Amino acid sequence: MGSGGGRPGEIGRRGTRRPYNAATGVPAHAQYRCAQAAGPASSRRQPVPEAGPVTMPDFTALIIGCGTMGSATARLVSEDARFKQIVVADRDLRRAELLARSLEGPATAIELDCRRDDQVLHSLTGISVVLNTTGPFSRDTLSLMRTVIEAGVPYADINDDVETLQSVFESEYLDSLAKHRGVGVLPGLGASPGQTNVLARHLAGRMDSVEEVRFFMVNDATYRSEAVWRHRLALFGEPALLYDCGRWTQVPAMLEFQDVAFPAPWGSIRCYTVGLETVSIPQSLKGLRHASLWRGFSDPATTSMLKTLIDAGLASQEPLEVGGVSLTPAAMTAAVLAKMQPGEDGPEPGRLPRQVRVKGFRGGGPAELTMTYSFPPGDIALATASCLVVGAGLLVDRELPSPGVFPPEAMDPAPFMWDMESRGVHFRLEDSASTRT
């Protein structure tokens, strides 16, 4: 099940078993984070000392990107008592300044083009951890990571680009550099990949061996910004990478689907296979035969519309000349879809289900575990940002197994799941023999 020692399913490259608190079942190294997570969201989270005075750490986080995800990350970091200072960076200085002024704690805004190594290096003075939220992620991300790691600064991001993540996790150079500089690196630490990986590890830890992992995500059909539609067209419109029969393969865009039976109140939702963002799972779960990611929408009409557009070639990234102007069908489609607002009589956005299914063997026989979870309605960036901020805490507290580049599933699930519960996430675990909540 992997190189980590200890209980079954404690996986990850270079992983080591961490001590557990026998009374709570929570890893000892997670107690500090757990105490923070129990506090109110509206104030800085304070640890609960067990005995004697507590000396608070004094860290500075650099958050790259001041869009939706960067703003959510900055708000959560400002609530974390570890961080006494926040630096928010964006190519648009005005946007960074607006975000800095909106935060409750000390915050500084800087102008930064993360493609410029000299600017990145200059921005790292006095920084304890870099949190990269700016997309779309590409090969340029590896250059940014190299600059940060060479400077000896821990790094985490919300990278969800399949090809880029494969390059990151396959890079012996980045891993060796991180070890040499003595820093931890956590790529792909968002909702998916990120929380999905962590929950897969949690379920794998309850099995003797795992043969199959499937991830199911339901998107909010009411969230319609142009950037989101661009991302969706890229997700659904490209051939889907999956791991099947112990090898990597591809299927055409929106060809394979499953009508997934979610628990009440959601019912059946059609989900299509998309690129496996959790690309590190086959390497981490030894003996795995299948891993795939499936996505759908809360509104079936949105799913049908998206398939029609993709089948018609309107998600293509190939530029066309229209009236002397070069643009891609995907860019045009995203701009049009962003203008189409849902009707006033439509349902209010509610909780959206996500699910991780693990099949394998336990106690000498076949077994299947299914974890369904959902965030409270509201800020859809919360899931992504909260996972990244938990990772930031692990990095500055030096709670990784060792320096190096690690996938999300190499981390202990406890701090992440505790944080999710503290933010109102509902979990429902079902197994092949019984169901419990």
Nearest Cα neighbor of 132 from 89, 99, 162 is 89
User: Which pLDDT score, from 0 to 100, does residue 342 have?
Assistant: 57
Give residue limits of the domains in the chain: 28-191+378-427, 195-376
Beta strands 59-64; 129-132: pairing state: parallel
pLDDT of residue 340: 78
Spans of the chain, pLDDT less than 50: 1-49, 51, 343-347, 434-437
CA distances from 416 to 273, 291, 391 (A): 26, 22, 8
pLDDT score, position 210: 98
The domain 28-191+378-427 having CATH identifier 3.40.50.720: the answer here is yes
pLDDT of residue 111: 97
Hey, what are 345's tokens? Answer: 């009589």
pLDDT of amino acid 136: 80
CA distance 44 to 41: 7
Cβ 257 vs Cβ 273: under 8 Å = yes
Bridge partners (DSSP) listed for residue 216: 294, 355
Beta bridge partners of 356: 215, 371
pLDDT for position 133: 96
Hey, do 28-191+378-427 and 195-376 end up sharing a CATH topology, with the first three levels equal? Answer: no
From residue 26, alpha-carbon distances to 147, 386, 389 in Å are 35, 19, 19
- Over residues 97-116, the pLDDT tens digits come to 999 999 988 999 999 999 99
Kindly report the CA angle at 238 between 164 and 304, in degrees rounded to 5? 135
122-165 pLDDT, tens digit each = 999 999 999 999 978 888 899 999 999 999 999 999 999 999 99
pLDDT at res. 17: 34
Q: Which CATH superfamily is domain 195-376 in?
A: Dihydrodipicolinate Reductase; domain 2 (3.30.360.10)
pLDDT of residue 54: 52
Q: Provide the pLDDT for residue 53.
A: 52
Backbone angles phi, psi at 268, to 5 degrees: -80, 130
Express the helix, strand and coil content of the chain in percent, nearest 5 each: 35, 25, 40
